[in-house]
Amino acid sequence: MYKTISCGELRAAHVGQTVMLAGWVHRRRDHGGVTFLDLRDRSGLVQVVANPEISPAAHAAAEAVRSEWVLQVEGKVRRRPAGMENPQLPTGEIEVEVGALTVLNPARTPPFPLNEETDVDEMTRLKYRYLDLRRERMQGKLELRHRIVKFIRDYLDGRGFWEIETPILFKTTPEGARDYLVPSRLYPGEFYALPQSPQQLKQLLMVAGVERYFQIARCFRDEDQRGDRQPEFTQLDLEMSFVQREDIMGLAEGLFTELVETLVPGKKLLAKPWPRFTYAEVMARYGKDNPDIRFELELRDISDMAAGCGFQVFEKAIASGGAVRGINAKGCGAYSRKEIDELTQFVATFGARGLAYLAVEASGEHRSTFAKFLTPEWTSRLLERMQAELGDLLLFVADKPAVVFESLGRLRVHLGDRLGLRDPNTLAFCWVVDFPFFNWSEEEKRWDPSHHIFTAPMPEDIPLLDTDPGKARGQQYDLVLNDHEVGGGSIRIHDRALQEKVFALIGLKPEVTQERFGHMLEAFEYGTPPHGGIAPGIDRLCMILAGETNIREVIAFPKNQAARDVMAGAPTFVEPGQLSELHLTIRE
């Protein structure tokens, strides 16, 4: 065998034992003719000592090794000399006196240090990902992800769920993003699609009488990349029969509350039970439907006050059906014009055409872009509405409601970072419910589902589908954590007639509906139980729990921002013969 014990497992209790170790050279040091090596494996590292008086051959071999060489070491565990212990190291009380040392594999000098935390260009890290993953920080995140997934499996198994795999090769049924398509060799011109989610399949498992299903599912979406998005990702896919919204939300809340308290004790939950908000409420207070509720800086609506105030920017926005909302940046009243201009440029990237401000200086004086319209009475009402005090900075956007929400919602988070209000050790889970069932697409002149096409409307809102679809609410619920939507779910439609009505409202012709979803509609005729589910994202959850801001940090082999695998060089061109077998040609 190569090892009898792992490096990081050695303790004072092993003193006097002869052990066999194998691992990588973490560091090498020479002191007075004696060579010290820190030998590392997945469990940790231990100091080994090569002394020429004990084993000249082992010492000679140790002198030749360098960082990241792979070694096998045989030796006796002994206590370190008094005063030479390392309390920062779990193995710091002992060391291994080398009797024999074998080089299993030498190593080139790595392109970046692996034995210390240094800033390394991400492209270099991704190119040499197999080396990047050796680093202690990355090993820790791989282990955390393993623990999270194992906890989920054990938790759900204990509550009667079955883990069932669903196909990766499936039918193309657009669900909002572009599909990845797989050409069929056996059926020229026909394609499989990689699943954007197992949505239809898990619903069909409910038709099959499974009742409680879950899967750690791989999903694929051909869409533009972001820091919290990858072309392939992993989600906990979960579906239950004979349930209502509260059943699924209660299960998920219990799962993730216990997971956090068990696996990440360094983090604290903001609240138990988790707060719940309606969609209308989070938009009004935070400007976004995935809010960070760890801090205040909530939006305030002054649209009613803006009409007739004399400031044309405000008045024009109101007259055109827009809104005026603001944020009270507490304690920022002394911001310079340069600093305010920087905030103005920030909101401009999200469509805002300007950022009006009113600085309430500590002296009681006011600075403002609309100072000449500030009558004492209007100013008093405005300060009261904005809950302003001396030293505060009031920031306003006047525009279409969508622009106001997007720009101020982003500005709020930006200010939260700037002011140090987003405690990285606090986990602020919350639920958002009562989403609009449909959104109107002005470009397409049709209704689009706000969640997905299988989400059920609120039972009391079903009549609105015939009279005013825009007022209907869906039985959707989003799981939100620290400015990220980490999961979404809904109660599903289980009635064929209702499902066909939804298909018609989003503009699908009957023949298209039958071709794409005929298998689902037929299944609904065979005794489909009421059912619903949720699909939290494993990558995003791991990212937040690990204290990272990019999911590439918690995925073993991710794609880069341009959706390329820079380590292996994918995607690549293929041989002409492969294309010919698939009946494909490349159009230049």
The yes-or-no verdict on residue 447 having pLDDT over 80 is: yes
Per-residue exposure over 85-102, b if at least 16 CB sit within 10 Å of its own CB, e if not: eeeeeebbbbbbbbeebe
- Tokens representing 389 are 């005090």
The answer for residues whose C-beta is within 8 angstroms of residue 86's C-beta and 6 or more apart is 47, 80, 92
pLDDT band at residue 307 under the 50/70/90 scheme: confident
The reported pLDDT for the residue numbered 175 is 60
Does 382 share its domain with 439? no
The answer for residues whose C-beta is within 8 angstroms of residue 81's C-beta and 6 or more apart is none
The reported pLDDT for the residue numbered 174 is 63
Q: Say how many domains are in the chain.
A: 3
Residue 578 included in any domain = no
Tell me how crowded residue 440 is: count the other CB atoms within 10 A of its CB: 13
Cα–Cα distances in angstroms (integers) from residue 391 to residues 68, 366, 415, in the given order: 56, 10, 16
Residue 286 included in any domain = no
* Domain C-terminal end among 105, 129, 157: 105
Domain region containing 362? 295-422
* For the ranges 99-108, 224-233, 502-511, the one whose mean pLDDT is highest: 99-108
- Tokens representing 416 are 């939260």
The reported pLDDT for the residue numbered 440 is 84
Residue 36 included in any domain = yes
SS3 category, 347: helix
**Cα-based torsion angle of the residue sequence 238, 240, 245, 249 in order, rounded to the nearest 10 degrees:** -40
Does 346 share its domain with 415? yes
The yes-or-no verdict on residue 159 having pLDDT over 70 is: yes
Residue 163 included in any domain = yes
pTM (two decimals) = 0.93
The reported pLDDT for the residue numbered 371 is 87
Full strand arrangement of the beta sheet holding 393-399 = 299-301, 323-329, 393-399, 356-360, 366-368
Q: Which amino acid is at 381?
A: R
CA–CA dist 294, 368 (Å, integer) = 29
DSSP 111-155: SS-SSS-----HHHHHHTHHHHTTSHHHHHHHHHHHHHHHHHHHH
Residue 193 included in any domain = yes
Per-residue pLDDT tens digits for 180-216: 999 999 999 999 999 999 999 999 999 999 999 999 9
- Tokens representing 399 are 């525009």
CA–CA dist 416, 422 (Å, integer) = 6
Which position has the higher pLDDT, 375 or 457?
457
pLDDT band at residue 527 under the 50/70/90 scheme: very high
- Tokens representing 540 are 């995003």
The reported pLDDT for the residue numbered 421 is 97
* Domain C-terminal end among 422, 457, 484: 422
Does 376 share its domain with 313? yes
pLDDT band at residue 176 under the 50/70/90 scheme: low
Per-residue pLDDT tens digits for 530-573: 999 999 999 999 999 999 999 999 999 999 999 999 999 999 99
Does 265 share its domain with 143? yes
CATH number of the CATH domain containing 317: 3.30.1360.30
Does 187 share its domain with 263? yes
Residue 162 included in any domain = yes
pLDDT band at residue 177 under the 50/70/90 scheme: confident
Contact 484, 544 (CB under 8 A): yes
* Domain C-terminal end among 404, 422, 440: 422
CA–CA dist 304, 516 (Å, integer) = 48
